[in-house]
Amino acid sequence: MRWVLNHVATGLIGVIVVGGMVLAALFGLHFVRKRSLISDDESTSLGGTLEVVGAIYGIVLAFVIVLMWQGLDTARDAVSDEASALAQFSIDVRVLPPAERARIETGLSDYLHAVVDDDWHHMREGNESPRAHRALDGLLTTMEGVVPETEVQKTWYDEAISKLNEAVSHRRKRLETMSNELPSPLRALLFGGGLITLAFVVIHGARRSPTHTFVVAALSALVAYNLYLVVILDYPFSGSVRVSPEPFRQGELARYAG
């Protein structure tokens, strides 16, 4: 699914999903009516079942979409928090000895370029960038070799270490949000439940007026669009609707982006 999101325009995917489900539902409705598979009495008796099934499915679908949106917000927060911690880190190291400060800033620049240029590319496919991992290890190794010369430098060094540890923690959270996908059983429930709900709608009132045709088309479009939202929100770093690396290019970090 990531491959499709990364290589096909998100809008086009939406048109294909929604349009395809609407056409399939209308074809099913036409087939049931033409074959007279459902009588009026049977159709009426299915009305109560349709209401129960539709209500349950609607609640589950809405709940999952809310969770997916919260997951997207969590990914954005992780990116923003990591960038903020690195920005504060870049400020804290300014009081360190010039030679060591230069090595630290070089390591920070290498990491930021690896994140923006390489990490985001790998995350689109659901993977971590080895280059970014090595750059972060290099920055940590550089900090381990720093020896503050004054009490002031020691105080700021401790703050810098704290902020760098925060950045590492937020990076881990960012990578976790990348790999947290909707469980397969729940995904099967959403897609299978959508098909079952539409089947009940097609069957109920299959011999009725064109109004029922409109209802089938509208409901199938609504279900398809919601399932489409579930898919694109499930991969926060893939497709055209994805979390941006811009926080790593802004504020105090802008001078490292060149």
Contact 219, 201 (CB under 8 A): yes
What CA–CA distance (Å, rounded) separates 119 from 243? 13
Q: Which domain holds residue 27?
A: 2-256
How confident is the model at residue 38, as a pLDDT? 63
Which residues have CB under 8 Å from 206's CB, separation 6+? 29, 32, 33, 37, 38, 43, 212
Which residues have CB under 8 Å from 112's CB, separation 6+? 86, 248, 253, 256, 257
What CA–CA distance (Å, rounded) separates 67 from 222? 19
Contact 43, 29 (CB under 8 A): no
Instruction: Per residue of the chain (258 residues), give pLDDT as tens.
Output: 777 887 788 888 889 999 999 999 888 888 877 776 665 555 555 566 677 777 888 888 888 888 888 888 999 999 999 999 999 999 999 999 889 999 999 999 999 999 999 999 999 988 999 999 999 999 999 999 888 889 999 999 999 999 999 999 999 999 999 888 888 888 888 888 888 888 888 877 656 677 788 888 998 999 999 989 888 888 899 888 789 999 999 989 998 876
DSSP state of 182: P
Contact 76, 233 (CB under 8 A): no
Number of domains in the chain: 1
